[in-house]
Amino acid sequence: MTPYHAPLRDTRFVLEELLEHASLALPGFEDTSPELLDAVLEEAARLAAEVWAPLNLSGDRQGCRRQPDGSVTVPDGFIEAYQAYAEGGWNGIVVAEAEGGQGLPEVAASAVQEMLHGANMALGLCPMLTAGAIEALSHHGSDDLKARFLPKLIDGSWTGTMNLTEPQAGSDLSRVRTRAIPCAENEGEHYRLHGQKIYITWGEHEAAENILHLVLARTPDAPEGNKGISLFLVPKFLVEEDGTLGARNDVICASIEHKLGIHGSPTCTLIFGEGEGAIGYRVGELGRGLNHMFTMMNEARHKVGIQGIGVAERATQQALAYAAERRQGRAPGVRGGESTAIIDHFDVRRMLRSMRARTDALRALALYCAAQMDRARHHGDAATREAAQSRVDLLIPVVKAFSTDQAVDIASLGIQVHGGMGYVEETGAAQLWRDARIAPIYEGTNGIQALDLAGRKLARDDGAALDALIDEVVATAARLADTPELTAQGVALRGGAMDLRAAKAVVLAAGRDADQGTDAVQAYATPFLQLAGHVLCAWQMGQAALVAQDALAAGTDDWAFYRDKLVSADFALRHWLPVGRANRAVIEAGIDSLALVGIDH
């Protein structure tokens, strides 16, 4: 596997020139200068490249092992690499300084997360889930719980997990059966949990002193369905009143999964309450566990999209390096002489340009979403915060699903560039595809993300939030069309925007149809999300093209970067966007082929 280099230049381009450091102008970030942010990114890049990335291949080959006592051994070097991350203060990057964090904006955290996942996705999953636990506990925990548990999560001494899935309850969490029984008054204000949770990422390990499990469970008198589910915090080791660790709680890792990829990440089956019951503390209100957990889930879904982008970046770097070295055949128009590097062949160039253009577009959209998250949390005007949150809600399913689907395809193209060497494990190209393949599945499958977008997010305001976003896409298309060098790109982007608006109308109308509304929205959801992803990514590359064209016209010293950005934007708008626009025709074709008998069982 080739060395990993964090994409600092393109990250700076997005933050400085596309987003214009808008997050730094918000209340609370007055002391965060562009120079400070740049220094943070430089240090994160060093950690990713020098400490985390070298362990990616060895971690994949060594994997994790469950010991007879239920403990789990992670690959060599992972504990030290995690501790270097924690000691650097990265766990609390967006947490306020008064609470022990760095107090940086979400765009900074997202950029750092991409670097870490590009360097080592299996290891990156551990702090990613901890960040979600911090978010959930900060929003919904009592003052006592926050005082007792948050500081150690923020400084990275303890890690967090998310416990939803059970053998009979996958995506349908209404079937959760784990029980939380209130303790007697003389025992204290806590519960004893009994049940089993599966697919728990980093559910057991020795990289941190303690693990805090956020667990969905039912109290004895809870009603059936989603309204009967509450959220509980269950520590691996009990925590005394003075903050010191006490006895081991009644929770154990029964097994770890043997997976297609992310071998360095222990995916555990956890048993709660084989004895008297695992002691847990209620987080938030009774019966609102799913609502509270979704605070953590939304954080995780955005970061899973970022995770996919990190792997796509590494796959692109690896494919470019291999194509520049591998010699085979001759360049077009050349006869005789030595063979040429395969990067000179146009079919290979097509694959490489597709990988680069798509990765850059996905990064820009994910960081734009992160900037909207900053706006929703910190802007001084309530109406502006509300509008930004509506946009975040709309974008998160796109960032999660579209980025991860694209990452799998980009990693697959990376294997194709390597030819036969990509299909063997020696080069590491196959590992990137194997690792990326889980991302469209966990934190809500991409089909669920599509249903969330086309069903819930679109219907709740009759498409108003999406209309506002499409208006901005159309405005960018007009600017492109008015720029002589970019007119064709503007025409392409406007066409994509019109397709998305037309498809939105079809999906909304289908949802109102009393006879087949639910079925139609389900049928249209994935092509609709794919269309939205293509158009919104093309919009970001259209913005990039305008910036790059201005820089070139001004005589920039970084000519090669801006010229390459223009080429990638042209590819995204005129080669890649047309593929996505075909989803309008898919939606307008209707659902008869899905409704007809033929695949029933």
Strand partners, 201: 267
Which tokens sit at 86? 């924690």
Q: Considering 386, 443, 472, 485, which one is annotated as catalytic?
A: 443
Distance between CA 188 and CA 190 in Å, rounded? 6
Residue 114 among the catalytic residues: no
In sequence order, the β-bridge partners of residue 233 are 214, 281
Structure-block tokens of residue 499: 């397709």
Please give the single-letter amino acid code of residue 78.
Answer: F
Structure tokens at 213: 């499990």
Q: Determine the 3-state secondary structure of 529 from DSSP.
A: helix
Instruction: Report the SS3 class of residue 198.
Output: strand
Taking a C-beta distance cutoff of 8 angstroms, is the pair 211, 203 a contact? Answer: yes
What is the phi/psi pair of residue 269, to 5°?
-100, 120
Taking Cα atoms as reference points, which of 400, 467, 494 lies closest to residue 440? 400
Closest CA to 256 of 245, 248, 264: 264
CA–CA dist 135, 141 (Å, integer): 10
C-alpha 327/C-alpha 345 separation (Å) is 10
Beta bridge partners of 84: none
**Can you tell me whether residue 261 is helix, strand or coil?**
coil
Eight-state DSSP code of residue 558: -
Residue 166's φ and ψ, nearest 5 degrees, are -130, 165
Q: For residue 252, which phi and psi values (nearest 5 degrees)?
A: -140, 150
What one-character DSSP code corresponds to residue 21? T
3-state SS assignment for residue 112: helix
Distances (CA, A) of 44 to 50, 77, 117, 156: 10, 18, 12, 16
CA angle, 418 then 420 then 423, to 5°: 85
Which amino acid is residue 451, in one-letter code?
L
Q: Which of 42, 44, 41, 65 is nearest to 53 (CA)?
A: 44
Nearby residues of 400 by Cβ (< 8 Å), 6 or more positions away = 301, 302, 304, 305, 443, 444, 446, 449
Q: Which residue has the tokens 């939205």?
A: 532
DSSP string computed for 221-258: TPPSSGGGEEEEEEESEEE-TTS-EEEEPSEEEEEE--
- Please state, in angstroms and as integers, the Cα–Cα distance from residue 152 to each residue in 71, 79, 244, 563, following that order: 21, 17, 11, 47
Residue whose structure tokens are 């979400």: 106
Element (H, E) at 341: none
Q: What is 2-13 written as a DSSP string?
A: PPP---HHHHHI
Residue numbers annotated as active site: 443
